[in-house]
Structure 1
Amino acid sequence: MRTERTLTRLDRVFARLDREPERPVQLGMPRMSRHRYVLVAACLACYAAIVWAVITTSWLVRLDWQVMFFRPYQQWPEIHAWLDYYVVLGQRGPTAVMVAAWLGWRSWRQHTLRPLITLAIALLLLNVTVGAAKIGMGRLGPHYATTIGSNEMWLGGDIFPSGHTANAVVTWGILAYLAAGPRARRWLSALSAVMSLGVGLTTVYLGTHWLSDVLLGWVAGVLILLALPLFEPLGARAERWLLERRDMVWARLVRRFGKDHASVPVTSTSGGLSTLVRHPVTAGGDSGRHSGGPVLLPSGPHTARPERGPGAASAGRRRPPHPDAPGRSKPSSARPVA
């Protein structure tokens, strides 16, 4: 009776670590649907509303000052040390390295550069859009505020919108964007939302950002994730270009080193075993040496030197035999050449 072995959780983990034999067919590029266009328009409207509320010194600015005077880091000082480490999850350098390592393994496993190229495009959009908004509006942070109740705009700061918050939304949300299945996408979306929400509130707790900075950072990050399908054709062209450059470099290396110092595989079979021997052939080459293709030696034992008869053996000795030395016996079998 034949029974099938039940796979354990550890077996499934190691199966996931194995490289797939070929690129999966379900790796389709997301498209800009009507629903996504509506969300992009809503995010743009929300982005403009927050900026306008800060510029006009509305109720949102008054809320910023109330939260700043509340000083959360003084209200709950026991969690200050822990939140100093947690806010690192919103810094661009550490998060980009962690996410790039994961997506690099995904690229190797699925035979595609799409995850890494998508991450690069998202980070480039993040740096351009958020960086330009920071420099253009020049808002000062709570620790550098000059006038109580003012919006602190165009004073040479770089705090609006929050870069930590937008970076947390993009770098952790890209994992959900590139998820293979709907279940994984839901779980990763919830995880990225919780982490970006926590990073944004942590910056408010530490007093490094206004509350309106965090709101605009959330909207800016979500807007980049929603607009990523517009750049998928660009990523596909970049992947084709990189693969073509790789093939060209590889072909050039093969031509160069194959001409200067080629190697000719020689396969010999002896005793039922196959041995691959490579002989270097220079560019000039020996005219008597085989110049291409595998050289197959005949099967069977190969002697290292021709067998000689008794007369030839005695005549070919370089010194006379010792009278007490025993005579040589004829070898029973020849040595194979390795």
Structure 2
Amino acid sequence: MRTERKLSRLDRVFARLDREPERPAHIDVPRMSRHRVVLFSATLAFYTAIVWAVVVSSWLVRLDWQVMFFRPYQQWPQIHAFLDYYVVLGQRGPTAVMVAAWLGWRSWRQHTLRPLLTLGAALLLLNITVGAAKYGMGRLGPHYATVIGSNEMWRGGDIFPSGHTANAVVTWGILAYLASTPRARRWLSALSAVVSLGVGLTTVYLGTHWLSDVLLGWAAGLLILLALPWVEPPIARAETAILALRDRLRGRRALPMPAPAPVGAPSLVVTPRTTAKEEAPAREPVGVTRTSRAPVYMAPGPHTSRAERSPVTPVGSRRPSHSDRVARGTPSARPVAGAGS
């Protein structure tokens, strides 16, 4: 009795990967609902409040200086090595490559460019908004502060808001935004929140950012995620244009079909030994009657081949007849020399 081999988890994973890609019948695209609009407005108000609190050097700036003087990296040095690697989860380059690889596989499986285009649009918005705020406010970091108790604004810095924190919110939050089921969206939202929270606190621990930088970074990343439904129509138009361009390029690369040669026209036959300067002689198609003139030296009229002619047996001698030739056995009429003398 033969029993079937039980597949392991790894075998099932590879079997799933080997399946032919299938486009899902329905892709859930988030819409800008009223609930999302309320969250976007509240986050924007929080963003504005943080900026105002830092500009006027309120209690938030004093809290920043207290945390900086506390020096968390000296209080808990045993976790310093781990957090040096953990903060990489907020760097734009490595995280973008990891998330783009996953979303690229999803694009191939679903036959759609929406995941990759959504990631590209989110990162573009992140660079524009966060970059403009950084260089516009020009705040110096804790390691480069000049006056104790000041907000260090407009002094040529580029740390407000925290780019690591905003990038962690957007890069890992895009996975929850593109999730295909509500359950996966909830789990991925919680995971991205924990990762971005940890990255922000890690930058405060390492002393590279003020606490207010991290708060503004969380708000900046959340604003981009909440605004993505407004970008969905341009993403759909971009996908349609890219696929249409791909089809046109494929059509140009396709070789044109050769036109059929007319009946009776000579065709060029190239053999493997024929070089670029040599051409094979033209052949006539089978069944085509060749009409040509008879040579000048031949009499007009139908001519038969030698094989079709009936054999002729020669009769008599082939020598031409002469009138002065005398047949053998007849007396000659000529006088014999010396006769009668």
Same fold? TM cut 0.5: yes
TM-superposed CA distance for 1:11, in Å, is 5.3
Q: Secondary structure at the match of 1:255?
A: coil
Which residue in the other structure is 1:138 paired with?
138
* Aligned-partner Cα distance in 2 for 1:176–1:286: 70
* Aligned-partner Cα distance in 1 for 2:98–2:121: 17
TM-superposed CA distance for 1:247, in Å, is 0.6
**Any conservation in 1 of the 2:21–2:108 contact (CA below 8 Å)?**
no
User: Kindly tell me: are residues 177 and 287 of structure 1, through their superposed partners in 2, closer, same or farther at Cα, counting changes over 3 Å?
Assistant: farther
Which residue in the other structure is 1:37 paired with?
37
User: Kindly tell me: are residues 10 and 240 of structure 1, through their superposed partners in 2, closer, same or farther at Cα, counting changes over 3 Å?
Assistant: same
TM-superposed CA distance for 1:19, in Å, is 4.7
Which residue in the other structure is 1:107 paired with?
107
Q: Equivalent pairs: percent with the same residue?
A: 78
Residues 251-308 of structure 1 show CA distances to partners (whole Å, capped at 9, x for unaligned) of 111137x67xxxxxxxxxxxxxxxxxxx9xxxx9998799xxxxxxxxxxxxxxxxxx
TM-superposed CA distance for 1:182, in Å, is 1.2
Residues 105-146 of structure 1 show CA distances to partners (whole Å, capped at 9, x for unaligned) of 000111111000000000000000000000100000000000
* Aligned-partner Cα distance in 2 for 1:136–1:88: 25
Which residue in the other structure is 2:246 paired with?
246
5+ long unaligned stretches in structure 2: 259-271, 273-278, 286-341
Residues 176-234 of structure 1 show CA distances to partners (whole Å, capped at 9, x for unaligned) of 11111111111111111111000000000000000000000001001100000000001
- Pairwise mapping of residues 263-302 of structure 1 onto structure 2 (< 5 A)? none
Residues 59-115 of structure 1 show CA distances to partners (whole Å, capped at 9, x for unaligned) of 000000000000000111111111111101100000000000000000011111100
* Aligned-partner Cα distance in 1 for 2:254–2:128: 40
Amino acid at match of 2:162: S
* Aligned-partner Cα distance in 1 for 2:68–2:153: 17
Bigger radius of gyration among the two: 2
User: Kindly tell me: are residues 288 and 50 of structure 1, through their superposed partners in 2, closer, same or farther at Cα, counting changes over 3 Å?
Assistant: farther
Moved over 2 A (4+): 3-22, 284-290
* Aligned-partner Cα distance in 1 for 2:284–2:135: 70
What is the TM-score of this pair, normalised by structure 1?
0.73
**Any conservation in 1 of the 2:139–2:154 contact (CA below 8 Å)?**
yes
* Aligned-partner Cα distance in 2 for 1:11–1:28: 30
TM-superposed CA distance for 1:6, in Å, is 8.3
Check if 1:174 corresponds to 2:189.
Answer: no
Which residue in the other structure is 2:233 paired with?
233
**Any conservation in 1 of the 2:28–2:180 contact (CA below 8 Å)?**
no
* Aligned-partner Cα distance in 2 for 1:236–1:7: 40
Q: Secondary structure at the match of 2:29?
A: coil
* Aligned-partner Cα distance in 2 for 1:186–1:134: 31
Which residue in the other structure is 2:214 paired with?
214
* Aligned-partner Cα distance in 2 for 1:86–1:289: 79
5+ long unaligned stretches in structure 1: 260-278, 291-338
Q: Secondary structure at the match of 2:204?
A: helix
* Aligned-partner Cα distance in 2 for 1:15–1:40: 42
**Any conservation in 2 of the 1:20–1:110 contact (CA below 8 Å)?**
no
* Aligned-partner Cα distance in 2 for 1:286–1:194: 79
**Any conservation in 2 of the 1:168–1:196 contact (CA below 8 Å)?**
yes
What is the TM-score of this pair, normalised by structure 2?
0.73
User: Kindly tell me: are residues 164 and 28 of structure 1, through their superposed partners in 2, closer, same or farther at Cα, counting changes over 3 Å?
Assistant: same
TM-superposed CA distance for 1:51, in Å, is 0.3
Q: Secondary structure at the match of 2:127?
A: helix
- Pairwise mapping of residues 1-338 of structure 1 onto structure 2 (< 5 A)? 9-10=9-10, 12-19=12-19, 21-255=21-255
**Any conservation in 2 of the 1:19–1:110 contact (CA below 8 Å)?**
no
Choose between structure 1 and 2: higher strand proportion: 1
Which residue in the other structure is 2:332 paired with?
none
Amino acid at match of 2:144: Y
Alpha-carbon RMSD across the aligned residues, in angstroms, is 2.5
Task: Name the stretch that deviates more: 20-29 or 217-226.
Answer: 20-29
TM-superposed CA distance for 1:20, in Å, is 5.0
